[in-house]
Structure 1
Amino acid sequence: MNSEVTAIDPMDPWCANLLHAPGARLCKIIHPGADPVPAQLPLLYDMHPAAVRTLGEVRSLLAHLVQARDCCIVRAAPANLSRMLKVRRLLHLDPETGEVPTLRNVPRALVALDIDGTPLPDGCDPRDLAACYAAVVPTLPPELRCAGCVVQATGSHGIKPGIRIRLWFLLDRPCWGADLAAWLAEVPGLDPTCFRPAQVIYTAPPIFADGAVDPMPSRLLTVPGTAAIPPLLEMYQRPPPPPPGAAMRQWSNGGQQRTVARFAALLRTVAEAAEGTRHCTLYWAACRAGEMVASGDLGRAAAADALAHAAMSGGGKDAANARKTASAGIARGIVECA
């Protein structure tokens, strides 16, 4: 990695955290007529921040990483700025070895949307990234349809059926991955794992071996436009409403005051959600509750019941669907903490 990259503040939300594993192969190998050979995930990495304040910087970074098969990106930031070399990819304490976390969950302005397997429209050539993007963009929320982005062909695009692209957007302010997952939950073909803090986001194309040929003439395309932020997230930036009282203690496994207050605030937010935003609000709140379930501070089944009840009290009409959404969000929140 060059010195210009390493001079960036690792905690700047307008940067990307590059993981460099010298000698590793962080990409697939494609052989003719055979299944792809998966990437190898090494044990140790060096962390390097890279500036992504403009779409041009995003494009330049990805163009560099296309040539770096031993690099990838994660959303999380370094947990300790004095420990960024030869470290494991740990978001939590390793209970077996006692190793402390090397990564911390932070909001980011750069967001990667993995679209995996969306059907190709009739007449759409997978080698035409602009046509593939044009086929996908109508399925995105309105706020992203005119936003600038860098379109990247993933390692499976042009090899497996369907559209398999990654859309790199710059938002006008940093956002949490779980909030983005809640807002974008209805996008067809979206792989939500790209919003996990420690999830590896591969950036290098496959290695084509033994006569295999890359079907893509180019793997990057810049779509000009402005930065955007989902309006739904505006609600999550405001202070939570006050808890409704001590009766909420029944949902806390250990009766911890902070858990009680936080969960009560989530219930109020769901109950007060405006018509048309209730589903997404319920899913977001359930993701947050899942974090408390993962830490052992909240009971899973009771939390799902309470969230579904809050959604119904706010005017919901489908109790079964509300319970399903609450359960799915809690599961996602637990995965985020894994």
Structure 2
Amino acid sequence: MTCLVHASGGGSDRPLLTKVITPTEIQNFDNVAKFDLHNLDITTFDELVSLIDWLSKEPHMALIRGQAIREGPNQFRRLRPRAGAPATIRASAEGEHWIMLDIDKYVLPDFIDDKDEMIDLIISELPAPFQDSSFVYQWSSSSFVHGDVKTVSIHLFFALKRPRTCYNLHTRTMRGDWSSGLIDAAPFNPIQLHYTASPIFKDRVIDPLSDNRTGVRFDRNDTVDLKPFVEPRTSPNFRTGGAPLVQDIDGLISVIGDDGHIHAATRTASYAYARQTPFALRSDDTFISKVMEQIAKAGRGDDYSEHYVKRMIDTAVVKITR
């Protein structure tokens, strides 16, 4: 059971849960306090496709992974009681049969400008169970609006063979086998809004994605057979404090190009560098030089640039520090 949320209000006063794009600005989502809450079941890929397609046309609606304790209008999204008011949302104890992977500010190689190739590249970096499964995709509201694209953001919806809980997915993304920085952990908070509506374009602004903003890719499997994540048991110590273990940055750089893996290996090294190196001790130029040298050894020096590696570092820093 998951929850469909509808911004509370009436008629033209109902707040928007999407962005408005004009010739001069991209207006952010309205600040919405209260919602009408409706529970629904999503158990198959066909149901997921139909739901996301419908929601893409509903600018006042969105999804969350949690479920409403009591369905009805005009409610806050609360996991815990506050100031005498009861909680309104709870995490499903059984988990959900669907998952949305939030790929935020994905740094593109300089030589890729085809949208299908962008999706192919992102899918190739996902955990193996997702790579041969059907999915629904939604480009972010501001994708391709400004023409030249260096990073992209996209939501990927998959149906799961067995339900998975918010806690399990969040833990896995923060400090488990999904912690490379590719997948954002925020959507695995039970009250986190999944914005699904296409943006509204005004004053003769043309949507650069037209009918391709939301789409479906069919593959061998309709559901992802996602094995349960078992959190590793590690003894607390002063060095790690429960954080990810320290990685050998030079070692991560040295495997760039192995088996043709440039992009994913560069991102992994960049995230380790951004996460582990204190700002005062950082030398981006040295790191970039080492990465570019390794890329050149792999015979791909003409395909990647120093600016590409710098974007990778900057994106990692933003994600880690926000």
Task: Tell me the TM-score normalised to structure 1 length.
Answer: 0.62
Q: Is the 8 A contact 2:161 2:226 kept in 1?
A: no
Cα distance, 1:28 vs. partner?
A: 0.9
Quick one: distance in 2 between partners of 1:172 and 1:165? 23
Matched, 1:31 2:17: no
Higher RCO, Cα 8 Å, sep 6+: 2
Q: Hey, what does 1:100 align to over in structure 2?
A: 86
Opposite residue 47 of structure 1, the aligned amino acid is L
Aligned AA for 2:106? T
Residue 64 of structure 1: how far off its partner (Å) = 0.8
Count of residue pairs the alignment pairs up:
229
Taking a change above 3 Å as real, the CA distance of residues 321 and 205 of structure 1, as seen in their structure-2 partners, is: same
Counterpart residue number, 2:186? 193
**SS of aligned partner of 2:244:** helix
Structure 1 position 322, deviation (Å): 6.1
The Cα of 1:323 is off from its aligned counterpart by 4.2
Summarize deviations over 1:112-148 as a string: whole Å, max 9, x none.
Answer: 111011122344336x3x3222010121111111122
Deviation digits for residues 166-220 of structure 1 (CA, Å, limit 9, x no counterpart): 0001111111123112334424442211111101111111111223221113112
- Residue 321 of structure 1: how far off its partner (Å): 4.4
Match for 2:214: what amino acid?
L
TM-score by length of 2: 0.65
Distance in 2 of aligned mates of 1:232 and 1:322: 25
**Aligned-pair distance for 1:43?**
2.3
1:225-240 correspondence to structure 2 within 5 Å: 225-233=221-229, 235=230
1:44 maps to 2:34: yes
Separation in structure 1 between the aligned mates of residue 199 and residue 142 of structure 2, nearest angstrom:
8
Alignment correspondent of 2:195: 202
Question: Do 1:55 and 1:150's aligned partners in 2 also have CA atoms closer than 8 Å?
Answer: no
Does structure 1 conserve the Cα–Cα contact (< 8 Å) formed by 2:78 and 2:87? yes
Map residues 1-338 of structure 1 onto 2, 5 A cutoff.
Answer: 12=1, 16-21=2-7, 22=9, 23-34=14-25, 36-80=26-70, 83-95=71-83, 98-106=84-92, 107-125=95-113, 128=115, 130-159=116-145, 161-184=150-173, 185-217=178-210, 218-224=212-218, 225-233=221-229, 235=230, 270-271=233-234, 307-309=235-237, 320-321=239-240, 323-325=242-244
AA aligned to 1:169 is: F
Judged with a 3 Å threshold, the aligned counterparts in structure 2 of structure 1 residues 323 and 99 are, in CA distance, closer, same or farther, namely: closer
- Aligned residues of 1:108 and 1:174 also touching (Cα < 8 A): yes
How much does 1:63 deviate? Answer: 1.1
- Quote the Cα distance in structure 1 between the aligned partners of 2:199 and 2:80: 31
Deviates more, 1:182-191 or 1:220-229: 182-191
**Residues 52 and 58 of structure 1 are in contact (CA less than 8 Å); yes or no, is this contact kept in structure 2?**
yes
In structure 1, stretches of 5+ residues that fail to align are 1-11, 237-268, 272-306, 310-318, 329-338
Conserved? CA contact 1:140–1:187, under 8 Å:
no
